[in-house]
Chain A
Amino acid sequence: MGNYFARHLQVLIASLGKLRVAPVASLLTILVVAITLSLPAALHVVIKNALLVSGGWQGAVDFSLYLQPDIDEGGAANLAKLLESRADILQVTLINADAALEEFAASSGFGDALDALSENPLPHTLVVRPIASLNAEASALLKQELSSLPETDIVQLDTEWVSRFQAILKLVRRAVWLAAGMLAIALLVVIGNTIRLDIQNRRDEIEIMQLVGASDGFIRRPFLYTGFWYGLGGGVLALAVIALATQMLRGPVAELASLYGGGWTLRGLDMREMGIVVTTGIALGLFGSWFATARHMRRIDPK
């Protein structure tokens, strides 16, 4: 049994040595594998970060505070000033009920119908913008406090657009999965084709091995290991490409984040995701070469 593994190890190392015989062709194949793997992985990084950032936005969006109808404009302005003095609130904007009605009449097209109303049905509204660093928990607490004010009728949190944005991101993420699936098929074809050429170039060698009693499995082994190295090499190179890209973007992203007062930084691939990229590369490499050998080996018979 130890002997068996020793032989496999020997072929594994030998097939790595074979790559050195045609370094340019091998490197090109590895490069193609790396690019094909890094495309979906990079998109994944982008989406992951966008979700993280937009998740942070959940707590930092504006509240719409609809006041009781009996609160007049002066009372609303006083409340606005009072709220603005709180530490967790950045800014409060008063939207006058008459101004709101005018704007609504202009933008909705219900102008004539609204004219028929004897009085303005809209209350005065305060748009409360909390500080950017407010987390979801504190935000919920703030909402509760605002609701319990005697002047308040309804508090609305404007998170709908964030939810929509996240829904879109999730849709895009699904599309990335689909693209990744197609790229995986392309990768199988690329690796399979490289191995096929390799088999053709070594046709004489394969025939000789068959004549001295080599089984298909024995002949196949070095080709499978070649596929393994293509996958491993491509996977590791893809990780390097992504690491380089995130490193290059880290500075500008931090700058952007500080402009928006956010404390978030760009996150690259974590260990689990790195493992997935490399494992996928290896699996596709093995499968591609397995497929190519299964298809083309049988056609070779010694003459």
Chain B
Amino acid sequence: MIRFDNVSKRYPGGHDALRNLTLDIDRGELVFVTGHSGAGKSTLLRLIGLIERPTRGQLLIDKRSTRGVKRRGLPAYRRDIGMVFQDHKLLFDRTVFDNVALPLVIAGVGHRETGRRVRAALDQVDLLRKEKQLPETLSSGEQQRVGIARAIVGRPKILIADEPTGNLDPELSLGIMNLFERFQEIGVTLLIASHDVALIGALGHRRITLADGELQSDSNAPIDQEEAFTF
């Protein structure tokens, strides 16, 4: 589903964010990306969202190179990819409902269908009762869930999340991660960047560790479940 083929990314100024990364992620996988800050986690996700382009190598999504996606093609490309950001990136002058509805409005989905799907997404993140509120009146965890609802409302094939639990307490973080696991069950491919090693270990999914822009380890091996639950 997602294939990094010897991808390098060098930012203007000479910083190498990724070096010769080769990686395969299958459809329906849930993959955690970990590593220290500056290891290249965010860059990896931003390449998938085409917020950045590889300096060398190529990225294939669904067996198709992203090189062919020009500026005009970006909107259509991004509608297939749900993105969750650490800083939520919500529109603060619009209600929770309108924020979540945004991808559907953009895609030109009808009024009735939009309402139905937005409420379904809000129900999944357990925010149905707050649909008329403005994001400001919500807690950080709730805002993050609005961001997640917006990312999934368009039924993307791929969902990428950059530090989705960055500033949440452990209980809320676990709740969010469980939510992602439910999306995996319905066939969404997920990439989640996180430095919360303890939480990731407890969940036991495939785990890619980056160090200084290079692939350090790629482990499918789940950590012992009983040990995990002691976190």
Name A's B-contacting residues (CB within 8 A): 3-4, 6-7, 204-205, 207-215, 218, 301-303
Instruction: Assess A212 versus B78: contact at CB under 8 Å? Given A3-B110, A7-B108, A302-B51.
Output: yes
Residue contact A218 to B106, C-beta cutoff 8 Å: yes
Complex partner residue of B75 from A3, A204, A207, A215, CB under 8 angstroms: A215
Some 9 contacts from A to B, beta carbons below 8 A apart, are A3-B108, A7-B105, A204-B89, A205-B91, A207-B89, A208-B89, A210-B78, A212-B79, A218-B75
Shortest beta-carbon distance, B22 to chain A, in Å?
A: 27
On whether the beta carbons of B89 and A211 are closer than 8 Å, the reply is yes
B221 interface contact, C-beta 8 A: no
The 7 closest A-B pairs by CB, nearest first: A213-B79, A213-B78, A215-B75, A214-B106, A212-B103, A213-B75, A208-B89
Residues of B within 8 A of A218 (CB): 75, 106
Question: When chains A and B are docked, how far (Å) is the Cα of A223 from the Cα of B51?
Answer: 24
B49 CB-CB contact with A under 8 Å: yes
Task: Output the least CB separation between A2 and chain B (Å).
Answer: 10
Beyond A212-B106, A213-B78, A218-B75, list 4 extra A-B contacts (CB 8 Å). A204-B89, A208-B90, A213-B74, A213-B75
Please, which residues of chain A bring their CB within 8 A of the CB of B90? Answer: 208
Q: How far is the CB of B135 from chain A (nearest CB, A)?
A: 12
Within 8 A of A (CB), among B83-105: 83, 89-91, 102-103, 105
Q: For the complex, is B150 an interface residue (Cβ under 8 Å from A)?
A: yes
Out of B91, B110, B154, which one reaches A213, CB within 8 Å? B154
Count A-B contacts at CB 8 Å.
50
Chain B contact residues, majority secondary structure:
helix
B83 contacts which chain A residues (CB < 8 A)? 211-212
Interface size class of B (residues with CB under 8 A): 20 to 34
State whether the Cβ of B107 lies closer than 8 Å to any Cβ in chain A.
Answer: yes
Q: Does B198 sit within 8 A of A, measured CB to CB?
A: no
Answer whether residue B76 sits at the interface, using C-beta atoms and an 8 A cutoff: yes
How many Å lie between the Cα of A303 and that of B154 in the bound state? 22
With both beta carbons as reference points, the residue of chain B lying nearest to A218 in the complex is identified as: B106
Q: Are B106 and A211 in contact, with the CB atoms below 8 A? A: no
Contacts A3-B110, A7-B108, A205-B91 given; indicate if A212 touches B51 (C-beta within 8 A): no
Q: Which residues of A contact B75 (CB under 8 A)?
A: 210, 213-215, 218
Chain A residues in 8 Å Cβ range of B103: 212-213
| A212 engages B74 (CB within 8 Å) | no
Q: State the CA gap A214–B149 with chains docked (Å).
A: 17
CA distance in complex: A214, B108 (Å): 10
Chain B residue nearest to A6 (CB atoms) is: B111
A207 to B103, CA, bound (A): 13
Chain B residues with Cβ below 8 Å from A303 are 51
Are B89 and A209 touching (Cβ within 8 A)? no
What is the CA–CA distance of A123 and B97 in the complex, to the nearest angstrom?
A: 97
Whether the Cβ atoms of B106 and A213 lie closer than 8 Å is yes
In contact, A208 and B154 (Cβ under 8 angstroms): no
Question: Contact: B91 with A208, CB < 8 Å?
Answer: yes
Residue of A with least CB distance to B151: A212
* B-side contacts of A208, CB under 8 Å: 89-91, 102
Question: CB-defined interface of B57-94 with A at 8 Å, one 1/0 digit per residue?
Answer: 00000000000000000111111000100000111000
- Considering residues A4, A212, A215, A302, which has the most beta carbons from chain B within 10 angstroms of its beta carbon? A212
Give the nearest-CB partner of B99 in chain A. A208
A64 nearest CB across to chain B (Å): 76
Q: Is the CB of A212 within 8 A of B110?
A: no
> Cα distance A1–B79 when bound, in Å?
22
* Chain B residues, Cβ within 8 Å of A3: 108, 110
Q: How far is the CA of A290 from the CA of B105 in the complex (A)?
A: 22
Tell me whether B108 and A212 are in contact (CB under 8 A).
no
Q: Which residues of B contact A301 (CB under 8 A)?
A: 51
> Which residues of chain B have C-beta atoms less than 8 A from A215's C-beta?
75, 106
B150 contacts A212, C-beta separation under 8 Å: yes
- The 8 A CB mask of B147-180 against A (1 = contact, 0 = none) is 0001000100000000000000000000000000
CA of A215 to CA of B89, assembled, Å:
18
Contacts of A207 in B (CB 8 A): 89
Q: Which residues of A contact B102 (CB under 8 A)?
A: 208-209, 212
How distant is the Cα of A302 from the Cα of B162 in the complex, in angstroms? 15
CA distance A215 to B107 in the complex (A): 9
Chain B residues lying within 8 Å of A4, measured Cβ to Cβ, are: 108
Nearest-neighbour CB distance to chain A for B120, whole angstroms, equals: 17
Question: Which of B75, B108, B154 has most chain A Cβ within 10 Å?
Answer: B75
